[in-house]
Structure 1
Amino acid sequence: MSQLSTISYVDSFRQPPTPCDFSEKNQCKELYISGATPRCESIIQQGEHALIGISPFNSQFSKTYVTSLVNFIARRFKRFDILMPCLSEASRLLIATGMEEKKAIKKTRRELRRHKTHLTYLLSLYELRSTPAKIIQFSDFIDNTSYKSLNFEAKKAFANCSRFRQDCLTMSQMAVRGRLRGKGRQDSELKSQLVNDALPYIFAELPFFLDTPSLLNVPYSTFFYHRVWPIGEGLYKGHYPVKVKPKQSYGLISLR
């Protein structure tokens, strides 16, 4: 599958990006959001619920950016929550790039704690809302019936659909390669086993990309992230057996 660039993905949206200006010095001045499809844009405009994806070990998620992002989303949506990976899934990327497991877990625990401390403070500013925002993690849903069903659906598609399998592997490869380059290492160190080792992170996150409303009991929801998911195009165009549910949308957050 050919990958869409961020620019072409944004330009394909029906509505123009919506700006939000901040005067505080410790915040980004402008953020824009765009829906992945006209239907996604329609769901975003309803302003029901937003799920903000936070990635540990990603320089994009500085305190400045996260502060701006949370404030921006809180102003636009009736409800919002924050999604973070759990310790076991987040540490996989470090292990996949050659870090010793014990060290990877220790470093991941510290990184997750850093994000949670800052996010807890930010969310306290909105705790008087009728439905306070929460920090949720993959592991919180391990016994959730809908989550298990969506996770199984994704793994079944991976086993039976060569196109979906290849696109998931490409997505995992991109994540591992990015981590290797971030550590000044070469692409020649990228092995197929490392790519496979990072796959569970994708399967753990996919249910929230497919059907957050069923997981969080909200009427509609938009998953927000700062870049295009490599498998996003295929999901929204119906290229795979696994489908995005009608009340779910995807939104791209960008700085301009």
Structure 2
Amino acid sequence: MPETRLPAESDQSDGAAARFLVEPLTDRCREVFEAGAHACVGISPFNSYFSAERIAALARWALGAFKRVHFFVPDTAAAYTLEALGYAPERAAWKARRQGQYVRNKITRALAAAGIDEPDGQLLDGQALAENAAYRILQERIEQCSREDSVFFRACLGASGWTLERRLPAGQEPTHEQLCSAVRYFLAELPLFLDTPGITGEPASVFCYHQVPDFLDDLFRHRLSLCPADGQGFVRVSEVTR
């Protein structure tokens, strides 16, 4: 990570403020962030970090820092992680749908409280992305690269392991079979790291999340065979604890 750290605040109605530390991944990411055109805020299902209060604070911060904002919820894809953890496909799909609705409700309430009349238009979930032509084209490119480039695919497996290790019992490592199942979740997320501007029709966009797996560091530093679009940025946005 570069040394640039940008403090930011999200005002709350009770007078308190949530403070965030914003860390652009590269100099180019910092340029895209400072332009303030668009943000895509990643909200992970089954992640206790994203409480209703934190989502509301993130919404206030993003709406104050950018001209336009979308929230990405990989709800449909979350079923792949559950399958890797041993759930039957039907049960995994059901749990993913239920959790997705729970997360969408929290985002909708946060946006409504911030004065957004039609919050559904700012949600990028599985259904919205399935109908997005640019997203589907990116998926095809990613799947082809995964088949033809073993280095790229191993890096994707590594990112999936980073996700799975947080769901497995302490000390247990994911098997190769689990990684190959769970990687479908990461591959479904990857278009948003490569070209959110193309997906949303914005001139530039910065993806916002509170963690940075090694894969994204390699991706944005052009160490892999696929590279982000010129207008794509990434920042780590972490809440400062008092």
Please give the TM-score of this superposition, normalised by the length of structure 1.
0.85
Kept in 1, the 8 Å contact 2:22–2:237? The answer is yes
Give a deviation string over 1:13-57, Cα, whole Å, max 9, x none.
4x3322215455697631121211111111111111000111001
Query: Does the CA contact (< 8 Å) of 2:80 and 2:182 recur in 1?
Result: yes
Q: Secondary structure of the residue that 2:165 maps to in structure 1?
A: helix
What is aligned with 2:235? 251
Which of 96, 100, 104 matches 2:92? 104
Q: 1:103 to 1:141 in 2, by over 3 A?
A: closer
Aligned equivalent of 2:172: 187
Give the equivalent residue in structure 1 for 2:69. Answer: 80
Map 1:33-112; keep pairs closer than 5 Å: 33-87=22-76, 89-112=77-100
Q: 1:253, CA displacement in angstroms?
A: 0.5
Q: SS of the counterpart of 1:179?
A: coil
What is the Cα deviation at residue 85 of structure 1?
A: 1.3
Paired with 2:16 and 2:109, the residues of 1 have a C-alpha distance of 15
Distance 1:107 1:141, change over 3 A: closer
- CA distance in structure 1 between the partners assigned to 2:14 and 2:84 by the alignment: 38
Any residues of structure 2 matched to 1:103-252 within 5 Å, and which? 103-124=91-112, 125-127=114-116, 134-181=122-169, 187=172, 190-252=174-236
Task: Answer yes or no: is the 8 Å Cα contact 2:160–2:186 preserved in 1.
Answer: yes
The residue type paired with residue 71 of structure 1 is: R
- TM-score, normalized by length of structure 2? 0.89
Change (3 A) 1:52 1:27: farther
Please tell me whether the aligned partners of residues 39 and 70 of structure 2 are also in contact (alpha carbons under 8 angstroms): yes
Q: Provide the alpha-carbon RMSD of the alignment.
A: 2.3
Amino acid at match of 2:202: V
| Change in 2 beyond 3 A, CA 1:74/1:177 | same
Whole-angstrom CA distance in 2 between matches of 1:57 and 1:85: 11
Partner AA of 1:204 in structure 2: A
| Cα contact 1:161–1:240 (8 A) shared by 2 | no
Q: How many residues align?
A: 239
- Distance in 2, matches of 1:139 and 1:127, equals 21
Amino acid in the other structure paired with 2:26: T
The CA deviation at 1:100 is 3.0
Structure 1, unmatched stretches of 5+, are 1-8
SS of the residue 1:173 aligns to: helix
Give per-residue Cα distances to partners, 1:200-246, cap 9 Å, x unaligned.
Answer: 11111111111111111111101111100331121122222211010
Rounded to whole Å, the distance in 1 between the matches of 2:116 and 2:181 is 38
Matched to 1:152, the amino acid is E
Unaligned runs of 5+ in 2: none
Letter in 2 for 1:218: E
3-state DSSP of counterpart to 1:20: strand
Question: SS at the partner of 1:187?
Answer: coil
Deviations 1:108-128 (A, max 9, x none): 222111111121112223326
Question: Partners in 2 of 1:140 and 1:43 — Cα distance?
Answer: 25
CA shift for structure 1 position 133: 5.4
User: Does the 8 Å CA contact 2:41/2:207 hold for their aligned counterparts?
Assistant: yes
1:128–1:107 CA distance, 2 compared to 1 (3 A):
closer
